[in-house]
Amino acid sequence: MIEDRIDGATLDGVAATCLWTLRNRAEESRHPGSVFADPLAERLQRRISYDYARFGKPDQIHPLRAAALDFALRAYLDRHPAATVVALGEGLQTTYWRLGRPAVDWRLGRPAVDWLSVDLPPVIDLRRRVLPPEPRVTSIPASALDRAWLAAPDPARGVFISAEGLFMYLERDDVLALIADCAARFPGGQLFFDSIPPWLSRRTLKSGPRGRPPFSTSPEGTDNSGLRLSAGYTVPPMPFGLTVSEAARLLGRIPGVAAVADVQPPPGRGAWRPGTLRRLANLPGLRDLRPSITLVTFAG
Ligand SMILES: C[S@@+](CC[C@H](N)C(=O)[O-])C[C@H]1O[C@@H](n2cnc3c(N)ncnc32)[C@H](O)[C@@H]1O
């Protein structure tokens, strides 16, 4: 059956970044040398018409981050099979399906996982149009910073929160306050998030020529500053940067944080294979200059 195509250009600003990460996962899934499989992402990318070339060349960073999330989430659900998963800023992520639809385990007589997908209203609207409905997946069209979603999961069943590609778009104080609220509300839970280093954050904030405000408010292709993926696309400002060392210091700084782990993405192709580059990226002097993935465990 040929499905109607849906116009992705209804998204703009930070909401449109979910098309960038979707494109990267779908392209990696199609790559003959890849071990990352996400047929639903491929289908979504075909279904949503958009000028994906504006995101520049496909990059493995997003599919490898997704694979790292899958791994962490599987491990948590093995220990907490009735947990609630809260995917903050979920975009068009298809983790639920890559994990084999964990909520349908009730057919096997096991307790079921509940899944909350939190994102801005235009993104949730698109998610609802393109993804298959699932009885135990609830979409919440709201900011992750709006604390209403914290009341939904039952803390006693276990809670795993993902914030994949989200925190860099928020302000530092807001992120730290949100982590503290999650730690207080969900003892024994885990939070998975990724960060860019502060030098990269600063680059995204650079003002455009002639003092114009940077990025999304100016007509595309006219701004020569910031982090450009192509002549036609500059990523929205990312005000929050965090080093690996700063992430480690969340333990002790935020009450209720019991452990902080620097998560290594799984091996990819080319430069992302295990080898010299990875070893370099973990040297003490260089570790704080690279993007990172952090898994926080809350005291139980
Ligand atoms: C780079 S995309 C990542 C999407 C998805 N997590 C992934 O990895 O493909 C960033 C997402 O964060 C969402 N977002 C930005 N600010 C948000 C906020 N305050 N609350 C909830 N979602 C937000 C955007 O709408 C977008 O879907």
Q: How far away, in angstroms, is 107 Cα from ligand 1 center?
A: 32
How many domains is the chain partitioned into structurally? 1
DSSP 13: G
Q: Is 29 in the pocket of ligand 1 (CB under 6 A)?
A: no
Residue-level length of the chain: 300
Mutational pocket test of ligand 1: of 10, 17, 23, 229, the residue with most ligand atoms within 8 Å of the beta carbon: 17
Q: Is 166 in the pocket of ligand 1 (CB under 6 A)?
A: yes
Q: Is 44 in the pocket of ligand 1 (CB under 6 A)?
A: no
CA-to-CA dists, residue 129 to 12, 46, 88, 124, 202, angstroms: 17, 14, 19, 9, 36
State how far Cα 283 lies from the chain centre: 25
35 Cβ contact list (under 8 Å, min separation 6): none
Rounded Cα–Cα distance for residues 85 and 235 (Å)? 28
Does residue 86 form part of some domain? Answer: yes
Look up the pTM and report it.
0.93
Q: Is 8 in the pocket of ligand 1 (CB under 6 A)?
A: no
CA-to-CA dists, residue 14 to 118, 169, 238, 263, 286, angstroms: 14, 8, 10, 25, 29
Rounded Cα–Cα distance for residues 94 and 27 (Å)? 14
Does residue 91 form part of some domain? Answer: yes
Does residue 256 form part of some domain? Answer: yes
* β pairing state of 233-234 and 228-230: antiparallel
Q: How far away, in angstroms, is 213 Cα from ligand 1 center?
A: 22
Does residue 81 form part of some domain? Answer: yes
Q: Which helix (H) or strand (E) holds 104?
A: none
Does residue 36 form part of some domain? Answer: no
Does residue 226 form part of some domain? Answer: no
Q: How far away, in angstroms, is 170 Cα from ligand 1 center?
A: 10
Supply the range of the domain harboring residue 134.
61-196+238-298
pLDDT per residue of the chain (300 residues) written in tens, 0 to 9: 567 899 999 999 999 999 999 999 999 999 999 999 999 999 999 999 999 999 999 999 999 999 999 999 999 999 999 999 999 999 999 999 999 998 866 555 666 789 999 999 999 999 999 999 999 999 999 999 999 999 999 999 999 999 999 999 999 999 999 999 999 999 999 999 999 999 999 999 986 543 333 333 334 444 457 999 999 999 999 999 999 999 999 999 999 999 999 999 999 998 898 887 888 889 988 999 999 999 999 999
Q: Is 41 in the pocket of ligand 1 (CB under 6 A)?
A: no
Does residue 121 form part of some domain? Answer: yes
Q: How far away, in angstroms, is 146 Cα from ligand 1 center?
A: 14
Q: Is 140 in the pocket of ligand 1 (CB under 6 A)?
A: no
Q: Is 21 in the pocket of ligand 1 (CB under 6 A)?
A: yes
Q: For residue 81, which amino acid is it?
A: P
Does residue 157 form part of some domain? Answer: yes
Mutational pocket test of ligand 1: of 12, 14, 22, the residue with most ligand atoms within 8 Å of the beta carbon: 14
> What's the CATH code of the domain at 258?
3.40.50.150
Q: Is 114 in the pocket of ligand 1 (CB under 6 A)?
A: no
